[in-house]
Structure 1
Amino acid sequence: MDQPNLSTMQAEVDRLSTNWRTLLDAMPEMVFLVREDGGVEYLNRSARACFGDPCPEQVAAGLPPVCRDCRDSLSPAAAAPSVREAVLGSTPVEFSAVPFIGYTGERLIMLVMRDISQRKSYENELLQFNTSIETILSQKISELEASEVMRQKLSRQLNSLKMQLGHYHKADRMVGSSRKMRELREMIHQVAGSDATILITGESGTGKELVANLVQATSGREDKPFLKINCNAISDSLLEADLFGYEKGAFTGAQTRKIGKFEVVDGGTIFLDEIGDISPHMQVSLLRVLQNGEIIRVGGNEPVQVDVRVIAATNVDLAQAVKDKKFRLDLYYRLNIITIDIPPLRDRKEDIVELVSHFVNHYRLAFDKEIDFVPKSVINRLLLHDWPGNVRELENLIQRAVLMSKGKMITEGDLLFDQDPRMEQPVRNGFDLNGRLGSLPLKEILAEVETTVITETLRRCEGNVGLAATQLHIGKTALYDKMKQRGILPKVLRKPD
């Protein structure tokens, strides 16, 4: 009776064991049954696929430490087992452990593991990526810092080059890129930043006011008041009152105190054009301003402190004026701290093409003309001219030419040159041929001869064009055409009423 019962029980145990192993083999996780001595009792199919069967020594050697880490989980009263990580052989795993009693009563530890090699690979890649990002960012930041240093260096070099090459400031209205103009602009940028008095010299029509504008615009007083005074356009008494102001009762009509231009422009800049024409009395008053920074109002006794930068301009040779006792030597030295000399147009004729283009564009818009071409013959004619009136004379000529042109281009017939005021009027008894030979081409000599003859004839006829045409034996229309070409105006030759 007992024997069949034992057989039945053994069969039941075998059945349960088989079912238990079948269940574990069906699990995707790796399962180890480990004895208390660290020996491996069982590996399921997933574990065998990963590590092999029998279990490799290096893997088996790593199991006891894993079991020791999980010692607390062997107690049935312990909390739910935690998930931990370890490396078996070379395989990273994630595992949990639970106590297990074998069917024969032995105490076992069941380790349920998952291969996390792929996850670890992703984590390593992410770590490397983050490390790479930090490295890249650090590298880029270093590059940006280096670029900023380089940018600042290049910016300084660029500013230097702009000055050397005559960079056009937004307030620069001067036209021309010749060497002399580049040197002029460089000089302006070099001295504009100081508060020193500047004397601008040059012939009439060279653009002294444009230079003054650029000096002020590139100075530290750019956003401060800027006034321009033509000293030659105001009488001496009015100029003093205008510049320095006056006290009540200083003269007839002075009903109240009035501050002058120097006080109005305090903190800013004042431009005194034609400074060489002021009277000795005004020279003394101006010297006080330059020496002590103070003015005295007309009719007053108390000095008034002012902070004004003075820019002066003249076409007078002040050194010669000092020799001629027409200008004070001490004032000359005060004005002559920094001198900017503007070259005449005849010394920078390479700028004529640029100037012609500028003026043609300006006046064709002003007069609504469709001029879009200036032939080379016209340019050559302009290059041959001496330009005693400088840029102003060229502008006047182009203005007339644009206005008088009948087509879309300027012709030589549209060029009406001004008479050189420095030259004497044509002599009545003949033409100075010797003075022209060797210095002028035949075409210009003949043009001057014709101009002399027509002008003298009109003078004798007191500006009567019809009578002059009769005496010259040409038609009145033809004479008008020649007068237009030569810039001869009959009205200036008429006898005054």
Structure 2
Amino acid sequence: MSSAMQQEKLKNPQSTPGPAADPGTLQQELTRARLEVERLKKNRIALFDVMLDMVFLIRDDYVIEYMNASAIRTFGDQCGRICHQALEGRHDPCPNCPVTISSAGKAAEGLFERKLGQIYVEYNYVSFQGYRNDQLVMIVMRDITARKQQEAELAQMHNDIETVLQQKIQALRESERVRQELSQEVNILKQELDRHCQQQDGMVGSSRRIQELRELTSHVADSEATILITGESGTGKELVADIIHKRSQRHNKPLFKFNCAAVSENLLESELFGYEKGAFTGATSRHRGKFETANGGTIFLDEIGDISPRMQAALLRVLQNGEIVRVGGNETIKTDARIIAATNVNLGAAVEEGRFRRDLYYRLNVINIHLPPLRERREDIVPLVTHFVTKYRAAFQKNIDYLPNGIMDRLLQHNWPGNIRELENVIKRAILLARNNIITEKEVSFESHEDGPAQDNAVPILENWMLEQPLKETLAKLEGKIMASALKQYQYNPQVVAKVLKLGKTTLYEKMKRHGLTDNGNRQNRH
């Protein structure tokens, strides 16, 4: 007999067609049904009791039908009592009561929070029919008191720090002694904050993009695959290469770095692959290249998109066969060096345009790590600013103890075309120029990128100008231009300019006099 037939028979025995059933048989079936109900009830209780969350079953008359072990440990055994009286000490149902809402036929949407006595709970609920055909509401609660306390403590600590900073900054104008006390207090707070925020891997930030980047670098570091790091200039490609090497099995072997766009093709080739004696003028002895000396280690090739077709062919041979040939030699030499390449150009487009070998691109792009620009992870700007302030505060021996909210808003709103490198330069310059240990709007200036395309022709023009006169005169004029530019950039502050150019103040003044440079009439305005 099916379960449905059994239930129908128990509800209305007279409705069963056919001859009267044996009373003994009916009694046995009734006993089995009761045992089955008891078994299901025990299983339900056992299942609920092992749950860490609190479980309540409440009838439509607000009486607590059941509490699991976790709920009893928290609130005591309140079974049989009215829920709002037992849990909140109320005479009337609670606002947004799950029982009242469920009785109205409405379903729960999302999670809810409530304070029951001294306990904060997070809960959800569902309405269902019990085995006695009674209407029940099951509420599943989780104790979030500890989390609420932590949030309150963090909020209070934030408010306390803001209050202390405002009070102390005001007191700076009245007492030098108070200023020193504030400086010491803020430094302690900054050091503690830096200790918690500074990441061991060197990456600063906690945005989703940075978390994904950390996971990816950790995952691929132990592999032997070639890695191509892409992203705009200033996004930290060299840092990622450092992290991958340090986390790889090659961490105890050397890491060599080359900027392929910064050296000539011949120099890059001889440095990477080495050369034989007599290979070119000045090659007086055999020289081992970095692929030989880095055997078992890692080689980082930045700006890989700028190498010549001949270098592309030589690099392809390394990737395909693990072999090199020294410049001016014929001997094939085996090498075991992992290659990490980086570029800020679209290599896929370069392949389609015929400027980059397709087979080399596929060999390099086994694993691609793309670094997002800073404007796409603005939530990391604040920790990056904190990191750079700490770094250059120590480097320049400045006790910077205040960064106004207005300046932070400017930093957050800037588009950062130069990415992290530009942000670092802005903070570095601001700390150098800061006075009275406070960075003001005057010290924060952004780099101009409006003339970027025109700068492409700057080098050829400069080279032609240099070839038109003796080298000594060219160097003297270049020195004067560099010093004039530095004086202008750092607001004609000789102390800062001397530090930036690594010159003594006496030497700086001598060179200024030699090139006819003055403080532009602004020296007294700085006091």
TM-score (norm 2): 0.48
The corresponding residue for 1:255 is 284
Q: Between Structure 1 and Structure 2, how many residues are aligned?
A: 268
Q: CA offset at residue 409 of structure 1?
A: 2.1
Q: CA offset at residue 424 of structure 1?
A: 6.5
Q: CA offset at residue 210 of structure 1?
A: 0.4
- Give the letter for the 1:305 counterpart: K
User: Is 1:221 aligned with 2:255?
Assistant: no
Rg (Cα) greater in structure: 1
User: Is 1:331 aligned with 2:360?
Assistant: yes
SS of 1:209 mapped into structure 2: helix
The corresponding residue for 2:406 is 377
| Pairing of 1:293-332 with structure 2 (within 5 A) | 293-332=322-361
User: Could you tell me which of 231, 253, 267 is aligned with 1:238?
Assistant: 267
Long gaps (5+) in structure 1: 1-166, 426-464, 466-478, 482-497
- Give the letter for the 1:395 counterpart: E
- Give the letter for the 2:443 counterpart: D
Indicate how the Cα distance of structure 1 residues 217 and 422 shifts in structure 2: closer, same or farther if over 3 A, else same: farther
Give distance in 1, aligned partners of 2:230 and 2:351.
15
Indicate how the Cα distance of structure 1 residues 418 and 232 shifts in structure 2: closer, same or farther if over 3 A, else same: same
> Is 2:198–2:387's contact at 8 Å kept on the other side of the alignment?
no
The corresponding residue for 1:152 is none
Q: CA offset at residue 256 of structure 1?
A: 1.6
Q: CA offset at residue 348 of structure 1?
A: 0.5
The corresponding residue for 2:297 is 268
Indicate how the Cα distance of structure 1 residues 480 and 265 shifts in structure 2: closer, same or farther if over 3 A, else same: closer
Give distance in 1, aligned partners of 2:449 and 2:280.
43
Indicate how the Cα distance of structure 1 residues 368 and 169 shifts in structure 2: closer, same or farther if over 3 A, else same: closer
- Give the letter for the 1:369 counterpart: K
The corresponding residue for 2:417 is 388
Partner deviation per Cα, 1:408-467 (whole Å, 9 max, x = no partner): 321222111100257678xxxxxxxxxxxxxxxxxxxxxxxxxxxxxxxxxxxxxxx9xx
> Is 2:257–2:299's contact at 8 Å kept on the other side of the alignment?
yes
User: Could you tell me which of 300, 309, 331 is aligned with 1:280?
Assistant: 309
Partner deviation per Cα, 1:357-383 (whole Å, 9 max, x = no partner): 111111111111121111111111111
User: Could you tell me which of 371, 376, 383 is aligned with 1:347?
Assistant: 376
SS of 2:262 mapped into structure 1: coil
The corresponding residue for 1:292 is 321
Provide the identity percentage: 60
Q: CA offset at residue 217 of structure 1?
A: 0.5
SS of 2:339 mapped into structure 1: strand
Give distance in 2, aligned partners of 1:180 and 1:301.
47
- Give the letter for the 1:341 counterpart: H
Give distance in 1, aligned partners of 2:320 and 2:210.
32
> Is 2:312–2:357's contact at 8 Å kept on the other side of the alignment?
yes
Q: CA offset at residue 196 of structure 1?
A: 0.4
CA RMSD of aligned residues (A): 2.8
- Give the letter for the 1:344 counterpart: P
Give distance in 2, aligned partners of 1:269 and 1:205.
22
Indicate how the Cα distance of structure 1 residues 292 and 422 shifts in structure 2: closer, same or farther if over 3 A, else same: farther
| Pairing of 1:31-430 with structure 2 (within 5 A) | 170=200, 172-421=201-450
Give distance in 2, aligned partners of 1:293 and 1:406.
56
Q: CA offset at residue 407 of structure 1?
A: 2.4
Q: CA offset at residue 237 of structure 1?
A: 0.7
Give distance in 1, aligned partners of 2:425 and 2:314.
37
SS of 1:287 mapped into structure 2: helix
Give distance in 2, aligned partners of 1:179 and 1:254.
51
Give distance in 1, aligned partners of 2:342 and 2:402.
36
The corresponding residue for 1:140 is none
Give distance in 2, aligned partners of 1:361 and 1:169.
14
Partner deviation per Cα, 1:157-216 (whole Å, 9 max, x = no partner): xxxxxxxxxx9874x222111111000010000111100000011110111110000000
Indicate how the Cα distance of structure 1 residues 194 and 422 shifts in structure 2: closer, same or farther if over 3 A, else same: farther
Indicate how the Cα distance of structure 1 residues 423 and 272 shifts in structure 2: closer, same or farther if over 3 A, else same: closer
Partner deviation per Cα, 1:243-272 (whole Å, 9 max, x = no partner): 001112211222221110100000111111
Q: CA offset at residue 232 of structure 1?
A: 1.3
SS of 2:258 mapped into structure 1: strand
Partner deviation per Cα, 1:254-302 (whole Å, 9 max, x = no partner): 2221110100000111111111111111000000000000001111112
Give distance in 2, aligned partners of 1:204 and 1:422.
16
SS of 1:215 mapped into structure 2: helix
Indicate how the Cα distance of structure 1 residues 298 and 424 shifts in structure 2: closer, same or farther if over 3 A, else same: closer
SS of 1:402 mapped into structure 2: helix
- Give the letter for the 1:300 counterpart: G
TM-score (norm 1): 0.51
Q: CA offset at residue 340 of structure 1?
A: 0.5
Give distance in 2, aligned partners of 1:227 and 1:194.
18
Indicate how the Cα distance of structure 1 residues 377 and 209 shifts in structure 2: closer, same or farther if over 3 A, else same: same
> Is 2:226–2:340's contact at 8 Å kept on the other side of the alignment?
yes
Indicate how the Cα distance of structure 1 residues 222 and 480 shifts in structure 2: closer, same or farther if over 3 A, else same: closer
Give distance in 2, aligned partners of 1:309 and 1:424.
35
Partner deviation per Cα, 1:334-353 (whole Å, 9 max, x = no partner): 00000111111000110000
After superposing on structure 2, the runs of 4+ consecutive aligned residues of structure 1 that deviate more than 3 Å are 167-170, 421-425
Q: CA offset at residue 238 of structure 1?
A: 1.1
The corresponding residue for 1:89 is none
Give distance in 1, aligned partners of 2:371 and 2:397.
33
Give distance in 1, aligned partners of 2:338 and 2:205.
28
Give distance in 1, aligned partners of 2:453 and 2:337.
43
Give distance in 2, aligned partners of 1:417 and 1:403.
15
Give distance in 1, aligned partners of 2:268 and 2:199.
32
